[in-house]
């Protein structure tokens, strides 16, 4: 079987194509962040406060990578860390006021990009694709 016909190859390729396209669009808009940074901002926006540990687990990224990315987002004044009471080793991550405004400003654009990515797929197609991808993820977990 040709590698281009393998499902896992197509899944990987799709992820890379989407990420590359999104990064180009972010740059065109002058957002000055990476796709990975946006993903973390969006997770924080939805779940704040969230511990760095939970953020790493939820985003499927290693803790060291999360720390580096949060350092960058903090320097851009988009996130801040707050020590968890009674725990000197863990922090909750929050969006700053500027971070909240940034996410809310760019969220409509990101939603447009998501809609473009599934153009031509019916609602049922999208549900079925999600169902199938979750099965593959569970098989590999």
H-assigned helices in 88-122: 97-117
**What predicted TM-score, i.e. pTM, was given to this entire model?**
0.88
From first CA to last CA, the distance across the chain in angstroms is 25
For strands 50-51 and 87-95, give the pairing. antiparallel
Percentage of the chain modeled with pLDDT above 70: 100
> How many residues can be counted in the chain?
141
Count of structural domains within the chain: 1
3-state secondary structure of 123: helix
Q: Which domain holds residue 127?
A: 3-140
pLDDT of residue 84: 83
CATH code: domain of residue 84: 1.10.10.10
Dihedral sign for Cα 118, 119, 121, 124, please. positive
Average pLDDT for residues 20-30, to the nearest whole number? 96
99-134: pLDDT as tens digits: 999 999 999 999 999 999 999 999 999 999 999 999
Reported for 20-25, long-range contacts at CB under 8 A and 24+ positions apart, including other chains, are 21/113, 22/113, 25/109, 25/113
Element of type H or E holding 40: helix 35-47
Of 93, 88, 113, 95, nearest in space to 19 by CA: 113
Question: How many C-beta atoms lie closer than 10 Å to residue 14's C-beta?
Answer: 11
Percentage of the chain modeled with pLDDT above 90: 87
1 band by pLDDT with thresholds 50, 70 and 90:
confident
Mean pLDDT (the chain, rounded): 94
């Amino acid at each position: 079987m040709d590698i281009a016909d393998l499902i896992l190859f197509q899944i990987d390729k799709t992820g890379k194509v989407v990420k590359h396209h999104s990064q180009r669009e972010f740059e065109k808009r002058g957002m000055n962040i990476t796709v990975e940074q946006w993903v973390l901002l969006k997770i924080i926006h939805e779940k704040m406060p969230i511990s760095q540990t939970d953020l790493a687990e939820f985003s499927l990224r290693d803790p060291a990578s999360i720390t580096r990315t949060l350092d960058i987002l903090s320097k851009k004044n988009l996130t801040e860390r707050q020590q968890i009471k009674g725990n000197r080793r863990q922090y909750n991550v929050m969006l700053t006021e500027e971070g909240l405004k940034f996410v809310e400003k760019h969220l409509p654009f990101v939603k447009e990009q998501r809609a473009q990515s599934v153009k031509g797929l019916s609602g049922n197609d999208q549900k079925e694709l999600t169902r199938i991808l979750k099965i593959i993820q569970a098989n590999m977990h």
